[in-house]
Amino acid sequence: MKLLVIIPAYNEADSIVEVIKNIPQNIRRIDQINILVIDDGSTDKTVFKVKSETKATVISHQGNRGVGVAFGTGISYALENRADLVVNIDADGQFNPLDIPQLVQPILNNQADFVTASRFIKKDFIPQMPRIKLWGNRRVASLISWLTREKFYDVSCGFRAYNKEALLSLNLFGQFTYTQEVFLDLSFKGLRIKEIPIKVRYFPQRRSRVYQGIFHYGFNTLKIILKTLRDYRPFRFFGSIGLIIFFIGLILDIFMMAFYLKTGGFTPYKVVGLTGLSLNVIGLGVLFLALIADMLYRLRINQEKLLYYEKKRRYYS
């Protein structure tokens, strides 16, 4: 069995070599371990240090294209090199590479297709991060849990393992980040997801490459989540919007009907009645769009299946 460890990196010259050197070279039931660094346009000595001090393979982007793109580059490389198992780990030393055997164990035991380290599933392992970041992580996890109807505690952690089935099934579009989109993509496709508690090191002084403030991170993450929900649950997405619009209009209609029964006229609230009727029409239109989108989603399912089998034929036949 071939394991590929992917390390996305952007200006991580101070820590990446130590991370690479601490990656275990012998893991039971794994025959080959390779290391790939995705340099996302680093301007420091990240690439120089990796090439001069380690045997890791390096792929460099011409500029800083985002964590999501870097992850996608790593997955493409894994497929092209027929990896059976992939581990993704950050380059900043926050995660301990010695935990990799523990992370891949559920996959090796055929208990999961995708395993993620969880910082919050075990209270003793919760890092000492600012309350606003902890609150934000928990809210996003709650949202993903609600959308997938599975309970997850940490959907933003970058320390993860994927089996071949997950690699072939992944079809991601987010550039800003990939962490939440992976949960939605694989969960909606019925793959087995497992969280395991992992203790991490938190660096208060370190500036995150992704987190630039709660509103910036929240807005960009929400965009990815909503786009994924639109693509994988179109009837639920557009249907909810249509129902909300229709019922707002219905409330206005009921108000106008009550006013008419009481006074015998519509003045001075004619505009309220027209607004209510307009919202009813718009709501019904969006509901009709939900039906059309659901029909198109059935085509998407078939396309996803064709893509899966084509990748399987091309890379693993």
Same domain for 298 and 281, yes or no, is: yes
CATH number reported for the structural domain that contains residue 92 in this entry: 3.90.550.10
CA distance linking residue 106 with residue 118, whole number of Å: 14
Domain boundary among 184, 217, 232: 232
Same domain for 239 and 228, yes or no, is: no
CA distance linking residue 312 with residue 62, whole number of Å: 30
Q: What share of the chain is helix, strand, coil (3-state, %, to 5)?
A: 55, 10, 35
CA distance linking residue 82 with residue 2, whole number of Å: 8
**pLDDT at 299 > cutoff 60:** yes
Same domain for 130 and 187, yes or no, is: yes
**112 and 164 Cβ atoms separated by less than 8 Å:** no
**pLDDT at 212 > cutoff 70:** no
Same domain for 187 and 238, yes or no, is: no
Domain of residue 244: give its range: 234-316
Query: 228 by DSSP, 3-state: which?
Result: helix
Tens-place pLDDT, residues 62-120: 988 888 899 999 999 999 999 999 999 999 999 999 999 999 999 999 999 999 999 99
In this prediction, residues 231-241 reach a mean pLDDT of 89
Same domain for 213 and 286, yes or no, is: no
| Paired strand residues for 7 | 37
Per-position DSSP letters for 44-83, written without gaps between them? SSHHHHHHHH---EEEE-SS---HHHHHHHHHHHHHHTT-
Which of the listed ranges 55-64, 175-184, 228-237, 263-272 does the model predict with the highest average pLDDT? Answer: 55-64
Single pTM value for the model: 0.80
Which residue, 71, 58, 199, 181, is CA-closest to 124?
199
In this prediction, residues 209-224 reach a mean pLDDT of 66
Backbone angles phi, psi at 94, to 5 degrees: -70, -30
Token output for 305: 């299946």
Domain boundary among 232, 253, 284: 232
In this prediction, residues 188-192 reach a mean pLDDT of 93
Domain boundary among 232, 255, 275: 232
For tokens 């200006």, the residue is 11
Token output for 24: 């275990």
In this prediction, residues 161-185 reach a mean pLDDT of 87
Total domains in the chain come to: 2
The pLDDT of residue 72 is: 92
Cis peptide bond upstream of 268, omega within 30: yes
Same domain for 63 and 202, yes or no, is: yes
User: How much of the chain exceeds pLDDT 70, in percent?
Assistant: 94
Q: Band the pLDDT of 204: cuts 50, 70, 90.
A: low
**pLDDT at 291 > cutoff 80:** yes
The pLDDT of residue 217 is: 64
